[in-house]
Every structure is written in structure tokens, then in C-alpha cells.
Amino acid sequence: MPEPPASAAARDTDRRTYTIGELARRYEVTPRTIRFYEQEGLLDPERRGQTRIYHDKDRVRLKLTLRGKRLGFSLAEIREVIHLYDHAPDGDERQLRRMLDILDEKRAALTRQLQDIQALQNELDDVEARCRDSLASLSRQRASS
Amino acid sequence: MPEPPASAAARDTDRRTYTIGELARRYEVTPRTIRFYEQEGLLDPERRGQTRIYHDKDRVRLKLTLRGKRLGFSLAEIREVIHLYDHAPDGDERQLRRMLDILDEKRAALTRQLQDIQALQNELDDVEARCRDSLASLSRQRASS
DNA sequence: AGTCTACTTTACGTAAACGTAAGCCTGCTC
DNA sequence: GAGCAGGCTTACGTTTACGTAAAGTAGACT
């Protein structure tokens, strides 16, 4: 799904707010899941009375979280990335350099993932080839009977 | 099923067997984990008496399993792929076609993963850029003092 | 024979990531 | 003003993927 460009319309989108139910439907999770992510420090929505109000920033965080989950990261790891994202510019030099190190580490993990995906795709190619061979030999059998 | 021809060296490798401890050390998991994978139908080692004997085929399965795990697949999903791999050529036409469908599905999942990785890499790039900006502005501050 | 070391089974424990149910509040809408 | 939809909290339940401990066995070394 393509993100809207930074136009007047985008500003509009940025001002939008969401209820927990809206977000849940949009990303196909339950409200319970969203509340759980908040409890785990991944979200921090505004409150109006007791009710949670989600802004676009929260929505992006949720999206990031679900992406991380699809890649097999734990919520703790995802929280780390999110906090990187939010606190990147503040901190002393030592902290910033440490952050760059962590970034390298995360990048390395993603590279490993890429390799794993390639390897798995090759396996799938292999299975598919054998499947197709079998199908072909079945149809040859049929032809010669 | 005709065993692969392979070279003398490869045959050597193929004839090697491993104890559970050897495999565990090699792949940095515990014996417990390996037994658990067997219990879940992911491995099926030979037995000599009570002791498990792992052949190269089992080792490859374990490798495949760990790869799947790194990608966030559940053991159930990995088992599905492994059984695809093992039973690809036997089955009637309907089964084979269904298998090709499942393959497409798995491939789609991997493609989604690739996209997720790209997106996350972009986020990391973003964080890194902001980090470097902050570092630069820190050093400018130092220079002007 | 005794002692390691590495294997085995059985079984209970645990962390992560939610699901599910109960009970309450609030703002419509008929 | 009764009901209903959707939000809230609290709390216990569940699945997955192992960890951990106890108790036993089998071969190798001293």
C-alpha cells in the first residue's frame, strides 16, 4: 500500500485520529493486541478521558511493529528499534556512536535474513521442479496407456 | 528413489553420522531442542539401541528448520515445507497441483518478507542519517566554542 | 570395579504473545 | 429510558518453543 505523498492531503491525513477499533480493523489485529503493544512500550496513545486516541504517528509505529513481527523479531527487539527511531538525535557522542553500532547489528540481521530467504527460495524451486517432473511423467504415462 | 551419484568426497560426507551432541554444538542449539524438533515431526533419526544416530539428511533438515526459525516461521509451517520437500514426487495429479499452489503461497510469503526487509532497511538508513547529523552538529559545536 | 561422559526418558517449569471472559462506563438512537 | 455498540480494566487461560531437573543406561578409561 503506497503511502500518501507529503502534500496538503498528507497533512490532512496527519491530523486524522483513530479509535482502537479502527486501527484494529485496518491492520487485522484485535484491540487486545494493540493494548498489549502499548503495555509493552511500543505504543503510547493520547487519552481523552479513559479512551485512547491514536494519531498517525501511532499508526506508523503499529505498522512498524507488525512488520517486525512478520520478520520474526520479538517485541523487545522491535521496541529497541522504535526507541532508536524516536531518540536518535538526542544523546551525547558516546550514545550516538553506540547507536550506530546497534544499527550495524540490526542491518547484519537483515542481511542474514536476505540470505535465508534466498536459500529457501532455492529449496522451493527445487521442490517445484520435482513436482513438475512428476506431473509430466504422469501425463506421459497417460499418453502411453 | 535413486540416490544421488555424487563424488567420492561427497559420498564420504554422506556416510558420516553425528551424535546429538555433535549436531547441537555445530548449530549452537541444545540437545533438548533437537529432540523437541523430532517430537514435532521435523526430524526422524536412525536409532542404534536407544541412541539417536543422525545422518547428513537429518543435518540438512535441521539446518532448514533453523533457517525457517530465523525467518519467523512456526515449527508447524516449517514441518509443512519439509514434508513438501520429502514427498514432492509421490502423489496423484490433484495432490501435486495442490502442492504447487502451496509453493506459490510460501513464495508469496517470502516476497512479503523481502519487502518488509527493504522497508526496515530504509528506516534504519533514516535513523543512521539522523544520528550522523547529530554527531556532525556536536562536532561543529565543539569547533565554535 | 569404579568413575566419567554422553546419551536416554519423563515430567514439571517458563517466557512470549496474545485470547477470552467478566463487569463497568459512555454516548447514541429508537 | 432501554438497549446497543464500542470503549475500558482486571485477571485468568492458552499455545509455542523450549529450559531444567531427576533418574536411569551404556560405553570408555584408570
A46 phi and psi, to 5 degrees?
-65, 160
CA distance B8 to chain A (A): 24
pLDDT at position A43 is: 98
Instruction: Please check whether the domain covering A1-87 is classified as CATH 1.10.1660.10.
Output: yes
Residue keyed to cell 498528507: A10
| Cβ neighbours, 10 Å, residue B17 | 15
Q: Is the pLDDT of residue A5 over 70?
A: no
* Distances, alpha carbon A95 to alpha carbons A35, A91, B137, B144, in Å: 31, 6, 14, 22
Question: Domains of chain A: which residue ranges?
Answer: 1-87, 91-145
Better pLDDT: B13 or A125: A125
What pLDDT does B15 receive?
64
pLDDT at B12: 45
Average pLDDT score over chain A: 87
User: How far does Cα A51 stand from its chain's mean position?
Assistant: 26
Minimum Cα–Cα distance from A73: chain B residue: B72
Q: Does A47 touch chain B (CB under 8 A)?
A: no
pLDDT mean across residues, chain B = 87
- Extract the C-alpha cell encoding A36: 498489549
- Give the C-alpha distances (Å, rounded to integers) separating B43 from B27, B33, B61: 15, 11, 7
Best probe of the A interface among B27, B107, B116, B138, by most A CBs < 10 A, is B116
State the residue for C-alpha cell 551424535: B19
pLDDT, tens digit, 9 for 90 and up, residues A52-73: 999 999 999 999 999 999 999 9
pLDDT digits (tens, 9 = 90+) for A24-54: 999 999 999 999 999 999 999 999 999 999 9
Q: How far is A4 from chain B (nearest CA, A)?
A: 15
User: Measuring CA to CA, how many Å separate B51 from each of A42, A62, B21, B54, B138?
Assistant: 46, 48, 11, 10, 62
Nearest nucleotide to B77 by CA–C1' distance?
A: D16
Q: What CATH number belongs to B1-90?
A: 1.10.1660.10
Location of C-alpha cell 569547533? B143
Distance CA B125, CA B130 (A): 9
Q: What is the pLDDT of residue B95?
A: 85
Which residue from A21, A66, A23 is spatially nearest to A42, judged by alpha carbons?
Answer: A66
CA-nearest residue to B78 within chain A is A120
Mean pLDDT, residues B99-119: 90
Q: With b meaning 16 or more CB within 10 Å and e meaning fewer, what string describes B127-144?
A: bbebbeebbeeeeeeeee
Q: Residue A14's pLDDT is what?
A: 63
| Cell matching residue B2 | 535413486
Sole residue written with cell 491525513: A13
The pLDDT of B96-108, averaged and rounded, is 87
Q: CB distance from A113 to chain B under 8 Å?
A: yes
What is residue B50's DSSP assignment?
T
8 Å CB contact between B31 and B40 = no
- B114 membership: H or E segment, kind and range: helix B93-143
